[in-house]
Amino acid sequence: MTVETSFLGITLANPLMNASGVHCMTVAEMDELAQSAAGAFVTKTATRDYRAGNPQPRYVDVPLGSINSMGLPNEGLAYYLDYCLARQNQQALQFLSVVGLSYDEIVENLRTIEASDYQGVTEFNLSCPNVPGKPQIAYDFELTERLLTEVFSFFTKPLGLKLPPYFDIAHFDQMAAILNRFPLTYVNCVNSIGNGLYIDVDKEQVVIKPKGGFGGLGGDYIKPTALANVRAFHQRLNPSIKIIGTGGVRTGQDVFEHILCGASLVQVGTALHQEGVGIFERLVAELEAIMEAKGYTCLEDFQGKLREIN
């Protein structure tokens, strides 16, 4: 029995990796990920220039997950691109997460990556909920289509999209119809559930400073939504577009559920932030135990095979 998997023809020891934004801001954090049991890693979403991000406190772990309004703090695209270029011969599979603060900056950043010798995967983040005044790109279907049309007029390297959660069947249909028109490597479902609110009852106060306390939710809160988005897009997208499942992964069972819904890889955010990189060994062991108990010998035995009630 094995939890090995392959992505873009590259064999990975397991389907697990970090979620962008968690444990991937600096070289030290990314090196620790690279040395961990994680099958792959992704960088913090980069903008062209360095960003300090929103004022603190801007990330808080809470009993059922986390809330954050980081505001896209990052070292700038060159920092992460240089990191990936320097290590791309040693590391099996790298994911470089990117966005821009404007349409033009997004195009510029993707042109920078295209012009580089980067051989890894690019994750285009369409779903940051925390830059004040910047609505999530992927909730604007027309803008998404316009951006993807321009990007794929020049971008030839493997490209995936980090999507926000959708909550309406019509939106799954509309978005999938757009995505099926482009040669995407994958879609990553889901980013945090945007603009939640967590309250400290003793203080009768919000817990994060930016945006009046509104922030993206992660953790147990979002697993049912994450699973539904993985399932919905797996059912609707061309099989050539893989699904990465993100959201609410804390145990091997959560990993199993995401794969059952159709995920090829599974990312860990909140729980990684809380437990550290040791979580990957634990998740692998727990996933193997579930597969053993069910008599599965590989991920393909159950991947995408969620049953409905007929």
Ligand X SMILES: O=C(O)c1[nH]c(=O)[nH]c(=O)c1Cl
Catalytically active residues, by annotation: 128
- Answer yes or no whether residue 270 interacts with ligand X by CB under 6 A: no
Residue 302 CB, nearest approach to ligand X (Å): 29
Q: How far is CA 56 from the centre of its chain?
A: 23
Question: DSSP string covering 43-81, please?
Answer: PPPB-SS-B--SPSS-EEEETTEEEE-----BS-HHHHH
- Answer yes or no whether residue 137 interacts with ligand X by CB under 6 A: no
- Answer yes or no whether residue 164 interacts with ligand X by CB under 6 A: no
Q: Which of residues 8-37 bind ligand X (CB under 6 A)?
A: 21
Q: How would you classify the pairing of strands 10-12 and 5-7?
A: antiparallel
Considering only 71, 120, 213, 248, the residue that binds ligand X (CB under 6 A) is 71
- Answer yes or no whether residue 72 interacts with ligand X by CB under 6 A: yes
Q: How far is CA 201 from CA 60, 205, 262, in A?
A: 15, 7, 39
From the list 5-13, 32-40, 62-70, 88-96, the region that binds ligand X by CB under 6 A is 62-70
Site string for ligand X, 224-263 (x = CB under 6 A): ----------------------------------------
How many Cα atoms sit within 13 Å of 232 on the Cβ side?
A: 24
Residue 248 in marked binding region? yes
Residue 162 in marked binding region? yes
Residue 130 in marked binding region? no
- Answer yes or no whether residue 176 interacts with ligand X by CB under 6 A: no
Residue 73 CB, nearest approach to ligand X (Å): 6
- Answer yes or no whether residue 130 interacts with ligand X by CB under 6 A: yes
Q: Which of 61, 21, 19 is nearest to 38 (CA)?
A: 19
Considering only 5, 18, 36, 45, the residue that binds ligand X (CB under 6 A) is 45
Answer for the pair 129, 136: CB distance below 8 angstroms, yes or no.
Answer: yes
Residue 192 in marked binding region? yes
Q: How far is CA 58 from CA 7, 62, 75, 128, 265, in A?
A: 34, 13, 17, 14, 28
Q: Kindly tell me the burial class for residue 171, based on how many C-beta atoms sit within 10 Å of its own C-beta (0-12, 13-18, 19 or more).
A: middle
Length of the chain: 310
Residue 296 CB, nearest approach to ligand X (Å): 32
Residue 146 three-state SS:
helix
- Answer yes or no whether residue 216 interacts with ligand X by CB under 6 A: yes
Other C-beta atoms closer than 10 Å to the C-beta of 116 total 16
Which of residues 72 and 110 has its CB atom nearest to ligand X in the complex? 72
3-state secondary structure 224-292: HHHHHHHHHHHHHCCCCCEEEEECCCCCHHHHHHHHHCCCCEEEECHHHHHHCCCHHHHHHHHHHHHHH
Considering only 5, 47, 68, 144, the residue that binds ligand X (CB under 6 A) is 68
From the list 1-9, 63-71, 141-149, 175-183, the region that binds ligand X by CB under 6 A is 63-71
Considering only 125, 144, 185, 270, the residue that binds ligand X (CB under 6 A) is 125
- Binding-site members are 20, 44-45, 68-72, 125, 162, 190-192, 219, 247-248, 269-270
Query: Given the rule CB under 6 A, which residues bind ligand X?
Result: 21, 45, 68-72, 125, 127-128, 130, 191-192, 216
- Binding-site members for substrate are 44, 68-72, 125, 191-192
